[in-house]
Amino acid sequence: MSTSIDDLLSFDEEPAGEARDGRGGWLRGLLRALAVTAAIVVVVVVGLRAIGLQVSLWIIVAGVLAVLAVRRVTAALSPPPPPRAGGRAPVGEEPGTWNWGTRDALRSAINRWQVPLDWSTSRPERFTKVILPRIGELADERLRQKHGVTRESDPARARALLGEPLWTFLATPARRTPSPRNLAAIVAELEKL
């Protein structure tokens, strides 16, 4: 018996739709629907009898079948689920429109800072309670990553590394919200670490 390389590397695809949509698939679906209907009817009848109500069995069966039919129709008409967030974007030309519904990590990061900064413009105590600790955490993280210290673990070295203006800004609560220019200067000092 001899076979060629083409015979080894080729295969005939079996249509998957025909196997499922055959007589066995249709009958199996009908039996499953009847079993689900019977189970729900039994639960409803037992529940109604437990609370002392009696309803005609045919009304309960008709109601359960109607609910199952509506469920099946709505499932068939529902739109496909959105693509997963971690999925890859299709490669190729852009369609020319921006998908505003997608989650953008940069936009999320900006919004995490923008909202508290907006709130703190009229209330300096909010700046002291919300923004200043975040800036302090950023400073500590930069110090830890670049120099192996934090403001708490080695205050003297952290003070020398941060510089007096940044140390004072982080250590003393502001009486009023700093201007955008002052905040930009603070961020620039943090980036120098």
Residue 68, token pair as written in the block: 């199952």
pTM for the model: 0.44
Q: Is the pLDDT of residue 99 over 70?
A: no
Q: Can you tell me the distance from the alpha carbon of 180 to that of 124, in angstroms, rounded to the nearest whole number?
A: 14
Q: Is the pLDDT of residue 5 over 70?
A: no
Residue 68 burial (CB count, 10 A): 14
- Exposed e or buried b per residue across 135-171, where buried means at least 16 C-beta atoms within 10 angstroms of its C-beta: beebbbebbeeeeebbbeeeeeebbebbeeebbebbe
Residue 80 φ then ψ, to 5° = -65, 150
Region 128-150: mean pLDDT is 87
Q: What is the pLDDT of residue 63?
A: 94
Please state the separation of Cα 25 from the chain's center in Å.
36
> CB-based contacts of 174: which residues, under 8 Å, 6+ apart?
124, 127, 128, 132
Could you tell me if residue 163 is left (phi over 0), alpha (psi between -120 and 50 degrees) or otherwise beta?
Answer: left
Q: What is the pLDDT of residue 52?
A: 92
Task: Of 15-29, 110-124, 145-159, 165-179, give the range with the top mean pLDDT.
Answer: 145-159
Q: What is the pLDDT of residue 60?
A: 93
Q: Summarize pLDDT for 144-157 with one digit per residue, the tens.
A: 888 999 889 988 99
